[in-house]
Amino acid sequence: MRIYQDGNRLVIAENKSQVWIEPWGKNSLRVRMTAQPEMDKNDWALTEEVEDCKAEISYEEIDVTDPWYKSEEYAHYHQTAKEWTLKNGKITAKISYEGWISYYNQKGELLTAEYWRNRNRINRYCVPLRVDARELKPIPGTNDFSLAARFEAFDDEKIFGMGQYQEKHLDKKGATLELAHRNSQASVPFYISSRGYGFFWNNPAIGTATFGTNKTEWTAKSTKKLDYFITAGDSPAELEEQYSAATGRSPMMPEYGLGYWQCKLRYRTQEEILAVARKHKALGLPMDAIVVDFFHWTRQGDFKFEPRDWPDPYAMVKELKELGIETVVSVWPTIDERSENYGEMADKGYLVNPDRGMNYHMSWMGNTVFYDTTHPGAREFVWEKCKENYYKKGIRCFWLDEAEPEYGPYDFDNYRYFAGPALQCTNIYPVMYAKGFYDGLKKEGETEILSLVRCAWAGSQKYGTLTWSGDIHSSFRAMREQLQAGLNMCLAGIPWWTSDIGGFVGGDISDPKFKELLVRWFAWGAFCPVFRMHGERSPWYEREEEFINGVRQLTSGQDNEVWSFGEDNFEILKKYLFIRENLRPYIRECMKETSENGTPIMRPMFYDFYEDKKTWETENQYMFGPDLLVAPVLEEGVSSRTVYLPAGETWTECYTGKKYEGGQTVTAAAPIDIIPVFTRGEKTYKIY
């Protein structure tokens, strides 16, 4: 094994493997390892031009003589070795003479270290487990490898981020997370540690991340290399800023993204959607966007309106625009075998291919195949169709659904992309999906770009991606899970996030229990990055099956407008529409900060109050921007809840006007029409 300096990086070389350690922006390092003659050139999400930092590289000669040889008989025997150090600002990597890496902050405190339990290469002492910190194991008959990377576990460590997973814990310490996308699951493998560092697994391969009590372990089933980014700083905000500088930041949120979005499953006709918009505005209610959801098309993959039900989209978009409402149109990446575009896309290699079996990925409402978003030609082809049939009719905002993509089943080993086997790169699918529309809109001169996308990976944010949490259940349990999912998604660098208010699956609008859930969720939605109503609302309308030119048409769910849940609830929902509208200037300033520095508007308590240890344990409330503490009601049938107020500040309860000193837990009133919100310091906002 050799360790040596190569310009601005350190190299650990042994047999055919090489490890590169080098500065990658302020206070940050990138670490790569290959077992091939050349390092794989894919940068994956680390595509941004970062600050050019000069590494401080040095080494120290140490005595590594085996104690066995330190007797008088072997006094002549002596061995030395070099221990190397690479420093970049607030982070230092130390490489032992055996080639294992540990990371320290500027105070000399250990942040994390590789986990290895292997033979000492110089003296006779050894650990017989033979577990390496880094393993690239060849997959027989290929040029590919399975990968494992291991790090020490620390009892005091808390882990936050990693994207969107449907479970109850904000802190991911103790969790095993699948590094794969599914409907309602988005793997975005960046986390912030309570020990003062951020870590990004820059690999879109299928694998796992385990934050165990004995070790932290990352795996990839098939890959070309190990690749990760690690950053150090004095605060979570500093870590987030450095990570977002390397992977990209969201553009400025368009103005229509700051207000209220109306959606249901589904507005079936042009007249139906216009009637809802007209009534909403006639009642004097604010609305910024309304959604034309799925199956408004003739066939999946045609990328155009069905002319019977949507006879004049241009006139529809024009009228909505005059009402101050942006039209959002759903696009699916599924191509029906009967679509007018299927043959050409198949011939040009624009579809995802299976390695075995039938060439269909879904059979819902037709036999369909996903188009290959990693193929530049496929992205351009789909955009050109959408440009002709949607953009030229005035539509500027797209809902890019099924973006995981939602394979049925998720047999990742059976799919192959232009970019490579799905096992190695499938997690970039939603990034490339959004990129296709971002690039197309940019080319047309658009400067305010937003796409609602049902998944994301690192880097999605720079393409104007607004992610929502998928087809979740209508229940308080699901609502609680969405809070941690949203906070962790925002920490993982995807700051534009929303959920289906009231949940998607289920939700009978005549059920009083669902109405309670809907009201609580709607109040919380007013304090989310994007405020958006949606849901299938059972039971679906019972209609006879409809067909147009032999193509079955989809029915719809129950009503889902603010007046659909009873007069008493309407008054509550109306109140929150105006609360959101009154907060628009504040939200706009927060979104500006998001665009400039990567700061998520919705963030855990520790993000702003990291010196208060209790905030690292507080999972059911959050900060909405720097000044508003929001404590959603996440339980059925309650009229109050406890709220922890961080130390070092004075807090004002918006509902009562009562002031509290921080560093204590208080009980906040929460009748059905109130979500507890506290303002920080002397800040005042019109909430109630």
Q: Which residues are catalytic?
A: 401, 404, 471
Q: How far is CA 581 from CA 88, 227, 282, 576, 685, in A?
A: 45, 44, 17, 8, 12
Q: How far is CA 623 from CA 113, 290, 605, 629, 679, in A?
A: 32, 28, 6, 5, 10
Q: In this structure, what token pair is assigned to residue 391?
A: 């953009």
Closest CA to 332 of 411, 247, 275, 401: 401
- SS3 for 261? strand
Q: How far is CA 317 from CA 145, 175, 270, 323, in A?
A: 51, 46, 10, 10
Considering just the CA atoms, what is the radius of gyration of the chain in Å?
27
CA distance 316 to 426: 37
- SS3 for 199? strand
Phi, psi at 570, each rounded to 5°: -60, -40
Closest CA to 424 of 640, 681, 20, 146: 146
- What's the first-to-final CA gap in the chain, in angstroms? 67
CA distance 329 to 156: 47
CA distance 520 to 126: 59
β-partners of residue 292 are 329
Return all residues near 91 (Cβ < 8 A) that are at least 6 apart. Answer: 27, 28, 29, 103, 104, 105, 106, 111, 197, 230, 231, 232
CA distance 688 to 668: 14
CA distance 614 to 646: 8
What DSSP designation does 295 have? S
Closest CA to 90 of 102, 101, 105: 105
β-partners of residue 603 are 623
Dihedral angle of Cα 525, 686, 251, 601, to the nearest 10 degrees: -60
CA distance 86 to 312: 64
Strand pairing category for 260-262 and 289-292: parallel
Say how many CA atoms lie within 13 Å of 168 toward its Cβ. Answer: 3
CA distance 646 to 123: 52
Closest CA to 228 of 188, 264, 201, 267: 201
Closest CA to 79 of 118, 120, 116: 120
Return all residues near 347 (Cβ < 8 A) that are at least 6 apart. Answer: none
Burial of 274 (0-12, 13-18, 19+ CB in 10 A): middle
Closest CA to 166 of 399, 507, 585, 505: 505
CA distance 654 to 646: 16
| Sign of the torsion angle spanned by Cα atoms 219, 220, 226, 227 | negative
Closest CA to 494 of 239, 247, 169, 199: 247
Q: In this structure, what token pair is assigned to residue 165?
A: 């997973």
